[in-house]
Structure 1
Amino acid sequence: MADPIENGVSPKPKKAIVTEAHVAPLNDETSVAHKVGSEDPQRDEDTVYVKGHPVIRNGADVSKYLVSCRDDGDPAFTFRSIVLGSIFTALSSVITILYTFKPFQVQVSAVFIQLLVFVFGEAWALLTPNPNRVKGKWLQNTFRFLNFGQPFGIKEHVVASLIASSGNNGLSGVEVYAIERLFYDRSVSASTAVLATFSISLCGFVVAGLLRPLIVYPAEMVYWLSLPQVVLFQNLHFDRIANRGRLKKFGWALAFAAVWEIFPAYIIPWFSGISIVCLATINAPKSTRTVISTIFGGASSNEGLGIFNFSLDWQYIQSQYLSLPLKQQLNSWIGLVILYAALTGLYYSNTWNAKTFPFMSTSLFSANSTVFQPTAILNDQGVIDYAKLNDVGLPYLTSATVWGYLTQSIAIGALISHVIIFFGKDMVAAWKQARNRTQPDVHYQAMLKYKEVPHWWYIALFVLCFFAGLAVNIIGETTLPAWGYIISLLLGAFIAPFSCILYGLYGSGVATNQISKMVAGVVHPGRPLANLYFASWSHQVILLAVNLANWLKVGVYCKIPPRTMFTTQIYGTLLGAGLNYAVMTSIVNSQREILLDPSGNNIWSGSVVQSMNSQAVTWALAKDMYGLSGRYVIVPLGLLIGFFLPVLHWTLIKIVPRVKDYPINTALISAYAGINYYGNTSWIWSSIAVGIFSQLWLRRRLPNIYNKYNYLIGAALDGGSQLVIFVLSFAVFGASGTAYPFPSWWGNPSSGNPDHCL
């Protein structure tokens, strides 16, 4: 029995059938349909059919039946696409950095930007004069260059959306500058800011660029969360008359989501967390309700685990659970069961003095349970003063946070060995196929007519980024030594391919930023600012590689020339980084006092940058907190534990071969075993319900409906809910300066816990 990665990668196409279809036995109807389909010469013998329609099980099915291979040859790099991309880069990047300093964070979704670009692109085409209706060749040529009166094509749409989505690639570096200004009372020079931003923003592109034959071209590298965008792109532009019915359903779904979102987000917050257990115990003693809230509460941040707590608020659920493959969701469900057992057991067994501190919180605490202030142990240069540390004492973490850190370490270790053990041979085969231009994926073959980006383009870009970063670290303003900078890049380059492979195959990855902070703490003890810069460079290599690989796959699906993808990604990233830096400087200079206040106010808050600085301080104390004599030594040991989990999995397969039929991924299980150790948790069970409906029932029972509408309606629900949240943020949530809360009533309790758990 072949491993799932073999689908579309192995040179033996017969093995493509071995995928999610084996997670559970096929029913009789599906089996019969498959047998009948095999006898039909018009059908692929490796495809499973239900009622005459193919079931989407793997990347090969996505390529053949879900994403169109159509290529109209329309222009991609146009004046209109650059202008629209630039405008919406400004919108998305400025809003993102603005909300970094707000009491709550709003992220502009890719689908929301995609819809805005489409509306403005269509208006540009319809409301501008047609060049053929004006006299004068010069004027006609000018109008054509400006795309006046010209249809707004899919490739322009993709390029503009790509530019806009690239605007936040350099956010990490800008956040470090903000922390430096706020907590260390220093700022880098203009030249350092420019060079460091350029380096941090683009350093990871080389990994995705050089490894695209491995992480982009194979059919199995789907990047599942991008499918709603791809399907929406094609439905908005291909054969609009035939798709009119689907577009109407899209519009109705978007309108429904927009109207509905007003209720859970503003009028009836109880809809964001419905807990039957909490309602049944509403008159119980407070001590009982406190325990109930810990287990079943979840509508408020850090309230509880949210078991059997269901949310009807789509802004939290989102379409990713309509998109993620069943193999990913199965692993996530296993991880959640472990999460519930671990957090409950750790807290009530008082592990790491858990009961002294809140059940869930990411803050640092002193031994007496008061909030720990990192500035109390730093000197004027932002370096840890061990004399002050001896007086104050080491900070403590909640048991939930320690568990979250531990599972992140385990997941990172498991990620590396799992990819090597289970996907290694297939990755080698995929690399050889791409190098020989024999990769069988129909979309890859369709892209061969376009000029590929030469490897030396990516290498040249990296060389520029490398020397820009090397220069600023030699100057010394970052406090990160040049040798530490080189280590950070090597670490990121080592981890990035593993993250890209997992993300491409499963639609989600493993949070790897902790290993950057861990290594930084080891090589630069007592220097939190160096830790911040080290982690920024290292993690950006990983993050940018994943982001670029994801968009390169969108480009393959939508037939965007590779050189256009390369150029526009760089342009959008640099434009967004510059805008982020300008807005950050303005906010930090004008709101410094309130951003330093631990509480903030209803308009401004420094909670995000405060948390980042606290983590940097913690890992700067790595030897004391996570060393052999430290109370949290288990956290770094998690890397070793995680590394051997896939080895045990592989050994079990050798002993019991049937285990290979199940898509177990210990890296994903470990990641989800600690992914929700803080924040709002009421949406988890709703996401499980959505995943079961989409992947277990709709995909298998009604593949025709699934193929036509699953991703399209998911994109509509995302767009509608995001649109309303964006409007409500400025209208009533206080983003414009004044908040207008909805009056308190049973559905909007003044206690702050909408689920009535406490």
Structure 2
Amino acid sequence: MLTKVNSRRSDSAVLPEISPSPVDDEKKDSFNDVNVEKSLGSEDVHERELQEERDEYLVQDYAHDIAVKVLSTQDDPSEPAFTFRMLFLGFGLGSFGAVLAQIYYFKPQTVSVSHLFLLLISYFIGNFMAAVIPRHGWWRYLNPGPFNIKEHTAAIIMCSTAAVSATASEIVAVDTLFYGKTLNPAVAIFMLCSSQLLGYGFAGILRDFLVYPTACWWPNIVTTATVFQALHYERTLASKRVRMFWVAFGAIAVWEIVPQYIFPVLTGLSIFCLIDNGRSDVLRNVFGGASNNEGMGALAACLDWNYIGSGCLWTPLKTQVNQWIGFLFTYFFMALLYYCNVWKAKNFPFMSQALFYENGTVYDQTQILTDNVFDANKFATAGPAFFSASNAWFLLVSNLALGACLVHVLLWHWPEVKGAFTGMAFRKGNDVQDEHYEKMKVYKPVPHWWFVIVFVIAYGVAQATNYTSGSGLPWWTFTVLLILTFSLTVVYGYLASITGFYLSWFGTGFFQMLVAFILPGRPVANMFGTLYGQHTMNQALGLLSDFKLGQYCKLPPRVTFFAQISGAIVGSVLNYVMIVNNRPALLSIAGTRLWSGQNAQSFNSNAISWGALGPQMFGKGGTYVMVPIALAIGLVLPIPFWLAHRRWPKARFNWVITPYSAWLTVGINTSITFTVIIGFWSQYWLRNKHPRWFTKVRPVVSGCFLSCMLTSFAVFGAAGTAHDFPVWWGNPSLDQGLSADRCKAPA
């Protein structure tokens, strides 16, 4: 039985493992006398070049190897971190990211702003400022010297904290779209800020367990830290990467205009759709997927990097394989549920986030609510509500994943996480054996009481906005949710930190189910319960990964503290300002190719189904009783693999991560095939055969975000009026009954 993660052992549970690259004996012999354990932190450029040559043949593996070989431990404590350049880049690019993230919340495919894109752009702007701003006299306060890694890292942490679409903005949008209520601007902004900062208090307390140890290496952050160090520690070597970035950045930025605007068929090339040309519902449901809520996108070829994303480049192979298995399950069950007419699925669209009457028309929630509270007499007249089968499947899998994740972490990693539940975070003298953490001891730490104060203030503001906004969420329910959220943050955070496997959003259904049990018949209270349960956990996980980035790049902890809090506040304000007002498209089931209310619809549908109709839909005798039962099933799923690993420790049962995904139930799905191909190529072939290129290629694929921003404002209507590209074969129109991939348009 493996009870403790040891980054040196080959049987460590769920840690990514890459087999050594096959090299011929002569090459192996030529490196036998080389001290491969030498740190890559040497300041000698020639030595670093020799080390890179050695690394061509010695694939780095496991958390410790990545932490001290792929990443440098060097540091110069004299470098300034809190500078004018840091503030300019942090607030400027953070504002840009927050605006873009909020716009894309209302797009058919929700995308996040790439950290690597912000990182590289800020590098060039920072160096430009260092070159053109004088350094004499009082100017030295604006330009204290060369642009360094500390101020660069602080700026990016501020950006990453700001560049999100906060869940509280969903409540603002849903209140306007579905409840005819507009929140007071001050209340809305304070609600956004408090919901962002609650998770920050949790993250600060959990640093000892989820940030400082080597085993918690946060795979999604390693790429970012590698780029930081390449740009700032290897300036003579970085020129190749800089040129590579500009070439790739420019090419991708220009290319993205083609599939996004001129030639949308390239978003999802499906031979089946092209042959069918809009006649078959079956082919659309299975092979279509280039338009919002169209289909599963099986075997489609996506030439739009905006939808493929960079996650497949950095997520460890074992994690991706588990996700691919999840995709196969989802393909199978989505088709099975629909075509076997489970839950009367054929009465409703194949994919949708709305609620329906049994005859397939959209459910009118106003017919069952009185003052936004469930009215049993009105419900008796209106009748029951139904989901599309795909949406019901997503809810079921969400609960399944939540239970499986909880038991998975407790079985495999209890010794590592138990301290978070026993108060060890507040005890002095915790022994953390990590080279990066040792380097950080020269800086003043952020005391735990700072985070406690932030949490207490955010807690008070959240309670106040709950009552002033009419949420219907009592103070004690809010408090219970936060206690539970803290526990789940530990579990989910540990899984994410050692595998890169993020399941945080799958807890939404759990919190909705919990609030529905505590406060039945109150859909608005259910939304607020989800906000302070699920979103607080999501925010804490994001902040924890930023703490790890600061540790890898030796950013003084107190600068990290400032960057994260200021970024959260700026992002919250801009999220509110940028909420899209396009009511007809946002209320439509299919939306348009440019705008979609899928996220707001899903958020509201779940609030109505759980908050108002929980007993009728999910209780005993309800249509979807299997959804809550799935939570119990998920609790059992990891146990057979854990027992099998104890019996046959060499059989690799520890590779199985039982929580799996159901991402195909929403949005645009044509990217799956290329995501699998690129992920396998990157994490198996490139990482094994060419590990040096593996660390260089991934940072250069961020140009699409510039193109996304430009097209959103220039032609897609983010700045006001949309300018559609003329209809032609490669840009079909819904008026022709065709989706973007020339499959039959969704009903």
- Mark the CA change 1:427 to 1:478 in structure 2 (over 3 Å): closer, same or farther: closer
Does the aligned pair in 2 maintain the 1:170–1:573 contact within 8 Å? Answer: no
Does the aligned pair in 1 maintain the 2:162–2:569 contact within 8 Å? Answer: yes
1:537 and 2:532 matched: yes
Q: C-alpha separation between the residues in 2 aligned to 1:661 and 1:252? A: 43
Q: C-alpha separation between the residues in 1 aligned to 2:32 and 2:215? A: 26
Does the aligned pair in 1 maintain the 2:645–2:654 contact within 8 Å? Answer: no
Does the aligned pair in 2 maintain the 1:76–1:560 contact within 8 Å? Answer: yes
Residue identity in the other structure for 1:357: F
Aligned to 1:341: 332
Q: C-alpha separation between the residues in 2 aligned to 1:102 and 1:299? A: 13
1:80 and 2:74 matched: no
Does the aligned pair in 2 maintain the 1:294–1:303 contact within 8 Å? Answer: yes
Does the aligned pair in 2 maintain the 1:297–1:304 contact within 8 Å? Answer: yes
For residue 481 of structure 1, the aligned residue among 474, 487, 491 is 474
Q: C-alpha separation between the residues in 1 aligned to 2:105 and 2:561? A: 28
Task: Using the TM superposition, name which of 172-181 and 431-440 deviates more.
Answer: 431-440
Aligned to 1:460: 453
1:649 and 2:618 matched: no
Aligned to 1:625: 617
Partner-residue secondary structure (3-state), 2:701: helix
Aligned to 2:408: 418
For residue 517 of structure 1, the aligned residue among 512, 520, 523 is 512
Task: Using the TM superposition, name which of 191-200 and 724-733 deviates more.
Answer: 191-200
Aligned to 1:374: 365
Partner-residue secondary structure (3-state), 2:665: coil
Shift of 1:658: 3.3
Residue identity in the other structure for 2:545: N
Shift of 1:513: 1.8
Partner-residue secondary structure (3-state), 1:54: coil
Q: C-alpha separation between the residues in 2 aligned to 1:21 and 1:210? A: 25
Residue identity in the other structure for 1:144: R
Q: C-alpha separation between the residues in 2 aligned to 1:52 and 1:304? A: 42
Aligned to 1:180: 175
Q: C-alpha separation between the residues in 2 aligned to 1:741 and 1:188? A: 33
1:677 and 2:668 matched: no
Aligned to 1:723: 706
Does the aligned pair in 2 maintain the 1:22–1:662 contact within 8 Å? Answer: no
- In the alignment, structure 2 segments of 5+ residues that lack a partner are 40-50
Q: C-alpha separation between the residues in 2 aligned to 1:732 and 1:194? A: 29
- Mark the CA change 1:361 to 1:50 in structure 2 (over 3 Å): closer, same or farther: farther
Q: C-alpha separation between the residues in 2 aligned to 1:37 and 1:497? A: 46
Partner-residue secondary structure (3-state), 1:658: coil
Task: Using the TM superposition, name which of 74-83 and 262-271 deviates more.
Answer: 262-271
Task: Using the TM superposition, name which of 732-741 and 186-195 deviates more.
Answer: 186-195
1:56 and 2:55 matched: no
Task: Using the TM superposition, name which of 607-616 and 155-164 deviates more.
Answer: 607-616
Does the aligned pair in 2 maintain the 1:38–1:45 contact within 8 Å? Answer: no
Q: C-alpha separation between the residues in 1 aligned to 2:569 and 2:16? A: 45
Q: C-alpha separation between the residues in 1 aligned to 2:597 and 2:211? A: 38
Shift of 1:596: 6.6
Shift of 1:181: 4.4
Aligned to 2:46: none
Q: C-alpha separation between the residues in 2 aligned to 1:694 and 1:727? A: 29
How do 1:22-41 and structure 2 match up within 5 A?
29=23, 40=33
Does the aligned pair in 1 maintain the 2:516–2:610 contact within 8 Å? Answer: yes
Does the aligned pair in 2 maintain the 1:222–1:507 contact within 8 Å? Answer: no
Shift of 1:101: 5.3
1:609 and 2:593 matched: no
1:354 and 2:348 matched: no
Does the aligned pair in 2 maintain the 1:29–1:50 contact within 8 Å? Answer: no
Aligned to 1:401: 391
- Mark the CA change 1:37 to 1:688 in structure 2 (over 3 Å): closer, same or farther: farther
Residues 189-222 of structure 1: CA distance to partner in whole angstroms, max 9, x if unpaired? Answer: 6775465344312111122211112111222322
1:640 and 2:653 matched: no
Shift of 1:461: 1.7
Residue identity in the other structure for 1:679: G
Q: C-alpha separation between the residues in 1 aligned to 2:302 and 2:594? A: 27
- Mark the CA change 1:463 to 1:321 in structure 2 (over 3 Å): closer, same or farther: same
Residue identity in the other structure for 1:340: Y
For residue 679 of structure 2, the aligned residue among 686, 691, 710 is 691
Shift of 1:644: 0.7
Residue identity in the other structure for 1:177: V
Q: C-alpha separation between the residues in 2 aligned to 1:523 and 1:21? A: 38
Residues 507-557 of structure 1: CA distance to partner in whole angstroms, max 9, x if unpaired? Answer: 231122221111111111111111111111112220111011010011011
1:147 and 2:143 matched: yes
Aligned to 1:755: 741
Shift of 1:237: 2.4
Q: C-alpha separation between the residues in 2 aligned to 1:385 and 1:404? A: 27
Residue identity in the other structure for 2:330: L
Task: Using the TM superposition, name which of 559-568 and 91-100 deviates more.
Answer: 91-100
Aligned to 1:282: 276
Does the aligned pair in 1 maintain the 2:645–2:653 contact within 8 Å? Answer: no
How do 1:736-747 and structure 2 match up within 5 A?
736-747=719-730
Q: C-alpha separation between the residues in 1 aligned to 2:731 and 2:188? A: 45
How do 1:184-263 and structure 2 match up within 5 A?
184-187=179-182, 192-193=187-188, 195-263=190-258
Partner-residue secondary structure (3-state), 1:616: helix
Residue identity in the other structure for 1:320: G
What TM-score do the two structures reach when normalised by structure 2?
Answer: 0.89
Residues 384-414 of structure 1: CA distance to partner in whole angstroms, max 9, x if unpaired? Answer: 2222222111211111111111111000001
Q: C-alpha separation between the residues in 2 aligned to 1:166 and 1:551? A: 9
1:164 and 2:159 matched: yes
Shift of 1:419: 0.3
For residue 364 of structure 1, the aligned residue among 345, 355, 358 is 355
Shift of 1:329: 0.8
1:112 and 2:117 matched: yes
Instruction: Tell me the C-alpha RMSD between the 2 structures.
Output: 3.3
Aligned to 2:35: 42
Task: Using the TM superposition, name which of 365-374 and 290-299 deviates more.
Answer: 290-299
Q: C-alpha separation between the residues in 1 aligned to 2:594 and 2:291? A: 20
Aligned length: 723
Q: C-alpha separation between the residues in 2 aligned to 1:748 and 1:128? A: 47
For residue 303 of structure 1, the aligned residue among 291, 294, 298 is 294
Partner-residue secondary structure (3-state), 1:242: helix
Task: Using the TM superposition, name which of 341-350 and 595-604 deviates more.
Answer: 595-604
Q: C-alpha separation between the residues in 1 aligned to 2:446 and 2:693? A: 38
- Mark the CA change 1:717 to 1:595 in structure 2 (over 3 Å): closer, same or farther: closer
Shift of 1:361: 1.6
Residue identity in the other structure for 2:254: V
- In the alignment, structure 1 segments of 5+ residues that lack a partner are 132-139
1:714 and 2:698 matched: yes
Shift of 1:54: 2.5
Aligned to 1:470: 463
Shift of 1:260: 2.2
Q: C-alpha separation between the residues in 1 aligned to 2:161 and 2:718? A: 24
Partner-residue secondary structure (3-state), 1:676: helix
Partner-residue secondary structure (3-state), 1:309: coil
Shift of 1:355: 1.4
Q: C-alpha separation between the residues in 1 aligned to 2:470 and 2:272? A: 55
Does the aligned pair in 2 maintain the 1:447–1:559 contact within 8 Å? Answer: yes
- Matched-pair identity in %: 34
